[in-house]
Structure 1
Amino acid sequence: MISHFHNLIRFHSRQLSCLGFVACVLLQTPAEATVVAPPSSTTATDTAREIAATVNGKPIYASAIDTQIELLIPNLDRKSARYQKLRRDLLAKTIDRHLALEYLHHSKIAASNDDMQLAIIRLEKRLKLKQQSLDDYLREQKISPAELSHRIDWQISWNRYLNKYLSDTNLQKYFTDYKSQFDGTTSEISQILLASHPADPAKQKATFDQAKQIIRDVRGDTISFSAAAKKYSISPTGKTGGLVGAIKYRGSMPLQFSNIAFALKVGEVSVPFESEFGVHILRCNSIKMGTRTWQQARPQLREALVESFFSFLVNTRREMLKAENKLEKHIEINSAWQ
């Protein structure tokens, strides 16, 4: 178990910015542990439903993605740009969860057929108390028997994995390796923000070239960071020399911003990076170490470690498929969803 955790820590140091939302969307299990879906006379026919993507031939239905959006943001206009972006984002995360489940089965940590059948029997008993049948439940949830099996498979398999690895020992190890992210450490940051032009490659390249020249000038003491911020930054903080202030890793700033800010030593200037706000250059002015213990940071530690585990499973499975030259055929996305 410790060896597995050390592999995760090495992975996390390379993939920290990939941490993401984790939810219970399921995948049909691999051939070595095929789950038998419960019989049903539900009227929903899978052949009539739009398929957004397939993972190893297993469909991800558009209606399942739309149901998730409805739960997150009821009555959102389906024609809006926001809705379409949410659809694509949720599809990407659903594909990732399918890959994670595949890896759990590959590692033999996943649900067995007996586990699945027992879970279905328990569900039927709970439904009976509500005077509801399994078919009623499937219609209410707008899912097929196979999708129900996927959900149960994920819930059992993912919880089994967490029960094995989400221990106090691993939480403490994670805290030690990434202490400043959890102990309340603050980093005083200044920034220079340049206008971004993602739709115009030539202008975008010119912006990054300008950012790199600014960094060379600052590092070469041709101009101070504060003076450069006043001269070039489009952010309101430019007027005060670019001072953002003291930030915590899990504070008000986006995770991408915090990742780069907390990687800087005092006096160090970052490479340029792009966000939805523009092209950023950061400087660390000072660091004040925190005093929280790992026990005090347990909720945040647990959340971060769960996300790290998930990213580790997904990316390990992707690397396996790449090594076998199977990744492109394994994941097929409907052109309308790309």
Structure 2
Amino acid sequence: MRRNDRFLLVALSFFSLCTTFLAAQPEASPKSSQQELAALVGKTRITQAQVDLYLTTLGLPEDQWDTHRSRAVDQLIERTLVRQFLNERNVTPPSATLDRQLALVEQVLRNEENPEAALKKLGMTRDELQAELSLPLAWRRYVRQIVSERQIAEYFEKHQSELDGTKRKAAQIFLKLPQDASETDIEQAKSRLNELKQQIQAGQLTFAEAAQQHSESPSADKGGELGAFTFSGQMPAAIAKQAFETPVGEISEPFASSFGVHLLHVTEEIPGQFSLEDARPAILDRYSDEIWKQAVNRLKQTTRVVRLVD
């Protein structure tokens, strides 16, 4: 699915969530605290009300807002920097695409009540809604302008197995760790897996036997078998990345994820069939993420940013 289409789906669910969340709220004058500044980006103000709306769109209950407020402010600062950057370069979204998305979002809002009234409850004007929808569309146009065909082709050649639907078959031995595990705990678990790896390589037991005896994953009963999976979307990123970096027939080094510590045995590769054209949207997405990070880091050095929220 293209980034543009994904954003539209997010936007529709996003505004549906907001209107559902606020449908029962009576129309009221904005509280003074809502107009307090959360940040200044150049001359652009980011208010607490805007931060609250952003937190609402993430689906977070109000009692969790304080925990996530600082990160939300960071994200709004980034979006403001990028919007200013695009405006300075006169990069605008495709008008037909923007009009179509506006119509779809207003249709979602109309399911609750009059779109203008719904936006007012959300603390937004139609112009602000249009600006929010415009940002990812304009950014996508900018990325397409600066990423060359040669870069796309070279990226596909370098990362082809990640992009063409290639699958890897693998088995794992997994040791579960709490999310607050210390570095010492992680290293001790890796050491245990290294010992098992040495025993397997010495022929003292097979990988499947080691998984059955020691793995703490449901796959242990099947000798750790995870089946076949592509680079994206079917396995946690840490597992997929390691599986595609490990040569077929080899056992990986122990590695940590947010779940615990893993040891992988990559057993087979199934070639993919997707072409460069099939992979083009994914390649542009990857460039988009990297260019966004680079732009934000550069803009923070040249734009006065004042955070008023810890």
Give the TM-score taking structure 1 as reference length: 0.60
Correspondent of 1:312 among 256, 281, 290:
290
User: For the Cα contact (< 8 Å) 1:186–1:248, is it kept in 2?
Assistant: yes
Task: For 2:289, give the aligned amino acid.
Answer: S
1:181 maps to 2:159: no
Q: Aligned partners of 2:127 and 2:224: how far apart in 1?
A: 54
Q: Aligned partners of 1:196 and 1:278: how far apart in 2?
A: 5
Q: Deviations over 1:251-294 (max 9, x none)?
A: 52123322221122112333333334322222211212122323
1:49 maps to 2:34: yes
Q: 1:22 to 1:317 in 2, by over 3 A?
A: farther
Q: Aligned partners of 1:101 and 1:212: how far apart in 2?
A: 49
Q: Which residue of 1 aligns with 2:16?
A: none
Structure 2 unaligned segments of length 5 or more: list them.
1-5, 12-27
1:270 maps to 2:252: yes
Task: Please state how far the C-alpha of 1:196 moved relative to its aligned partner.
Answer: 0.7
Any idea what SS the aligned residue of 2:264 has?
A: strand
Q: 1:309 to 1:226 in 2, by over 3 A?
A: same
Q: Which residue of 2 aligns with 1:250?
A: 232
1:280 maps to 2:229: no
Task: Please state how far the C-alpha of 1:152 moved relative to its aligned partner.
Answer: 6.5
Correspondent of 2:46 among 59, 64, 68:
59
Give the TM-score taking structure 2 as reference length: 0.64
Q: 1:271 to 1:88 in 2, by over 3 A?
A: farther
Q: Aligned partners of 1:44 and 1:309: how far apart in 2?
A: 43
Any idea what SS the aligned residue of 2:287 has?
A: helix
Q: Which residue of 1 aligns with 2:139?
A: 158
User: For the Cα contact (< 8 Å) 1:190–1:284, is it kept in 2?
Assistant: yes
Q: 1:22 to 1:98 in 2, by over 3 A?
A: farther
Q: Aligned partners of 2:198 and 2:296: how far apart in 1?
A: 38
Q: Aligned partners of 1:230 and 1:192: how far apart in 2?
A: 8
Q: Which residue of 2 aligns with 1:33?
A: none
Task: Please state how far the C-alpha of 1:163 moved relative to its aligned partner.
Answer: 4.4
Q: 1:279 to 1:44 in 2, by over 3 A?
A: farther
Q: Which residue of 1 aligns with 2:212?
A: 230
Q: Aligned partners of 1:166 and 1:317: how far apart in 2?
A: 14
Q: Deviations over 1:281-312 (max 9, x none)?
A: 222112121223234x25xx41x234323321
Task: For 1:189, give the aligned amino acid.
Answer: A
Correspondent of 1:203 among 181, 185, 197:
185
Task: Please state how far the C-alpha of 1:49 moved relative to its aligned partner.
Answer: 1.2
Q: 1:218 to 1:85 in 2, by over 3 A?
A: farther
Q: 1:139 to 1:320 in 2, by over 3 A?
A: same
Count of residues paired in the alignment: 272
Percent same amino acid among aligned pairs? 21
Task: Please state how far the C-alpha of 1:234 moved relative to its aligned partner.
Answer: 0.6
User: For the Cα contact (< 8 Å) 2:92–2:138, is it kept in 1?
Assistant: yes
Q: 1:168 to 1:44 in 2, by over 3 A?
A: farther
Q: 1:98 to 1:218 in 2, by over 3 A?
A: farther
Any idea what SS the aligned residue of 2:276 has?
A: coil
Any idea what SS the aligned residue of 1:309 has?
A: helix
Structure 1 unaligned segments of length 5 or more: list them.
1-20, 26-42, 71-75
Any idea what SS the aligned residue of 1:282 has?
A: strand
